[in-house]
Amino acid sequence: MSPTAWQKSSFSGSGDGNACVEVAATGPHLHLRESNDPTTELTPAPAALAHLLRAIKATER
């Protein structure tokens, strides 16, 4: 079942042509997609997504 309420970051701006990551939730699952390719959707395992977010935060320093 594909989620219907996709959200993107307020940092993405509006309609400027830049791709951004969008997120949606269905029950306990999070779904990710790129705004430029909305037909391709990822549903990562919670542990994998947590690992990715920790790695991104660690590189921001």
pLDDT per residue over 9-58, tens digit each? 777 766 666 678 899 998 888 999 988 888 999 999 989 989 988 998 99
Domain boundaries, the chain: 18-59
Please tell me the predicted confidence (pLDDT) of residue 36: 86
Distance between CA atoms of residues 58 and 17, nearest Å: 28
Q: Which of 2, 1, 3, 21 is nearest to 11 (CA)?
A: 21
pTM, two decimals, is 0.71
Burial group, residue 44, by CB count within 10 angstroms (0-12, 13-18, 19+): middle
What are 5's strand-pairing partners? none
Distance between CA atoms of residues 45 and 16, nearest Å: 31
